[in-house]
Amino acid sequence: MAHVVVLGAGLGGVIMAYEMKDQLGKDDRLTVITKGSSYCFVPSNPWVAVGWRQRDDIEVDLTRVMAKRDIALLTQGAARVHPAENRIELTDGESVSYDYLVIATGPDLAFDEIEGLGPEGHTQSVCHIDHALKAEQAFKALVANPGPVIIGAVQGASCFGPAYEFLFILETALRKARVRDRVPMTFVTSEPYIGHLGLDGVGDTKGLLESEMRAHHIKWITNAKVKSVEPAVMHVEEVNDDGTTKKMHDLPFAFSMMLPAFRGVPAVRGIEGLTNPRGFILVDKFQRNPTFRNVFAVGVGVAIPPMGPTPVPVGVPKTGFMIESMVTATAMNISSLLNGKEPAEVGTWNAVCLADFGDGGVAFVAQPQIPPRNVNWSSQGKWVHYAKIGFEKYFLRKIRMGKSEPFYERLALQALGIDKLKSTHPETGDVA
């Protein structure tokens, strides 16, 4: 009898638990460790921040569904992973031992790395439901008293899609509130160019997004380092391609939402052999840690090297499709080990993204996510907005019902009109 533990219950952790349960035998045990019992659909947070969704619309209590699937749910949260001892120390002092561990914690939000950044400072966030609800109050204040807006992502950020999404969702909401004419908007990003997305662009994301910004009277600053944030003023260094200072900006704002850099969570950060210097989990092509061979990882907490040097540090995003493929590969690989076989499944590390703009949007597919690519496709239109709504409803239903079927690959196949997206691991080049 084996005991498999999934650490984390976000987008990756919940579907990891569902797929892992499908692979286990009747005598095996599965435990999920997380902080609290609620799952929130993070991709809907930009809508929450402008009042288009409420907490109840996107939150699921996992207690019932986990019990229905015979999955133990521990809600204390983890204080520290001890991989050499096959043990997780919980925040209440108790410990849980495991035969196999899947780390799916997501990231720690590094607001503290920039003075004045984040919900405890002077900018808003859409990374967490509580942040988005606070941002909604700031949005209401902006509508009541319009002024300049700064949206973007700071140096070291790796999740640029939500920044672009929120930029245009906010622009749409301001137009609907009939105050857009009194709100100058600036996009500030560490990317070397608009539409880079941490992926060196996908299709014509550069042209599409620049065109959208021009059409909506949005200015931008690329190669930007946010030095500090004061009440109503953001200090930004714009750099040249060689990293030297091009210009210093003191940008006034009445409202700002800036995505932070990510790092590994404290429970795993600094464990030699398990994580890189930023605290992300080191894995091989099978999602398995090279040092601790019974530890796997999926999701945003996985270490992926950047695409290449950029004037300002830019990370690589982990999209939903990529995470789904990591989950499926991990579940099958642990199942193989339980049956006396070696892991053989490689995740489809492709990128599929729906970026909603409130009344339109941009979609892209990158296969593989790191160039050169077999598929390098992007498109825009109102259909993206409706597809994102459909995705939200579908995914939340899947979480509530305890289903493990994938969504992103189906979406990509329909968009591209092809039969199969081949799996290409970005580091090894293995194709499946």
Q: Which residues are known catalytic residues? A: 159, 353
Report the C-alpha gap between 44 and 52 in whole angstroms: 9
CB-based contacts of 108: which residues, under 8 Å, 6+ apart?
262, 263, 264, 265, 266, 269, 279
Cis check: omega of the bond before 313, within 30 degrees of 0: no
What spatial distance separates the first Cα and last Cα of the chain, rounded to whole Å? 31
Rounded to whole angstroms, how far apart are CA atoms 388 and 376? Answer: 20
CA dist 330 to 102, 104, 126, 134, 304, Å?
8, 11, 29, 36, 16
Answer yes or no: are the C-beta atoms of 330 and 344 closer than 8 Å.
no
| Helix axes 320-338 and 408-416, enclosed angle (nearest 10) | 130
One-letter amino acid identity for 232? A
Inter-residue contact 240 to 401 (CB < 8 Å)? no
Residue type, 176: K
In the numeric block, which tokens belong to residue 201?
């662009």
252 CB neighbour count, 10 Å cutoff: 12
- Bridge partners, 151 (sequence order): 187, 257
The residue among 94, 115, 197, 106 whose CA lies nearest residue 153 is 197
Q: Which amino acid is at 227?
A: K
Residue 364: φ, ψ to 5°: -145, 155
Tokens at 196, concatenated: 């880079």
CA distance 279 to 266: 8
281 HSE (CA, 13 A, CB side)? 32
* Whether 19 contacts 45, CB under 8 Å: no
